[in-house]
Amino acid sequence: MRIVIAVLVILGCLAGDPARAHELIVGLSPYQDAAKAEAQVKTVLDFLTVTLEPGESALLFDA
């Protein structure tokens, strides 16, 4: 989960303005226990739910 948050913060800093979801690529790690994986996915989905505007998208991949 720390990795996802770090990636989101870095991408937000690079964007200058508040990060827009269509500028995001998020890698979810399969190499963790089930509870941490579930928390990571929930965090990302919560962020995208708040951030995505109609017509925007985000790329999620197996990292």
pLDDT of residue 42: 93
- Average pLDDT value for residue range 55-61: 85
Q: Which pair of tokens denotes residue 30?
A: 């399969």
pLDDT of residue 51: 85
Q: What is the spatial distance between Cα 52 and Cα 37, in angstroms, rounded to a whole number? A: 22
Q: 59 pLDDT exceeds 90?
A: no
pLDDT in tens, 2-47: 777 766 666 665 555 555 545 678 888 888 899 999 999 999 999 9
Q: Residue 55 region, left (φ>0) first, then alpha (ψ -120 to 50), else beta? A: left
Domains of the chain, residue spans: 2-62
Its pTM stands at 0.59
Closest CA to 9 of 52, 60, 54, 1: 1
Strand partners, 60: 26
